[in-house]
Amino acid sequence: MRQSGEVIKLVVGLGNPGAEYASTRHNVGFMTIEKILSGLPAGRFEESSTAESRLFSGRFRGKNLFLQMPQTYMNLSGKAVAVFARRNAIKPEEILVISDDLDLPLGRMRLRAGGSDGGHNGLKSIISELGSANFKRLRIGIGHQEAGSTADHVLGSFTADETPVLKEVLERAAEAANCVLSAGINHAMNKYNAKPQQMEKETVTTTL
């Protein structure tokens, strides 16, 4: 059961716009939004361009829900998120942000109710523009680079060997986001912060 008063109104996936970035590690936030949308009934969420974002609006469990993909480039993500949130009277604690994470190996993900930016420039921008770190996060592991710069790693594409692991974690990330929306952050953390092999095989039932 969702905690009293806890309603997520905005789910934000972070990434960089443009075809050249579409398959890069830094764009797993965008990929997760697309995975969530692919599991929703066709035509239920309408797309528009607003607040320098691709914005999808619809209803989830009888409540208005927005899915946002900022088109400002990663380091300025907060400008798009803050403008849209203020325009629609959405509080920081009513936001779930999905991002990549260098400190988690590929195949792992972690939900948090708040916290620091962890060195992630997209999260840093959102915290700065909202004036608050009190938003939920779903961090998806992309692993540390074996060689070269961090920028080259996060802006690089997944390898053929990594693709099956990526596909699996994106499925679980979409399930975890749905769980946050339907059952609350604490329930979702208890279920999805375990290592994949420790997780029970259970399905989240979503009522739209």
Residues identified as active-site: 26
Using left for φ > 0, alpha for ψ between -120 and 50, and beta otherwise, residue 9 falls in alpha
| Sheet strands (E) in the chain | 10-13, 46-50, 53-60, 63-70, 95-101, 109-112, 136-141
Strand partners, 192: none
Cβ–Cβ < 8 Å for 80, 52: yes
3-state secondary structure of 99: strand
Q: What are the backbone angles phi and psi of residue 169, rounded to the nearest 5°? A: -70, -30
Round to whole Å and give the CA distance between 76 and 74: 5
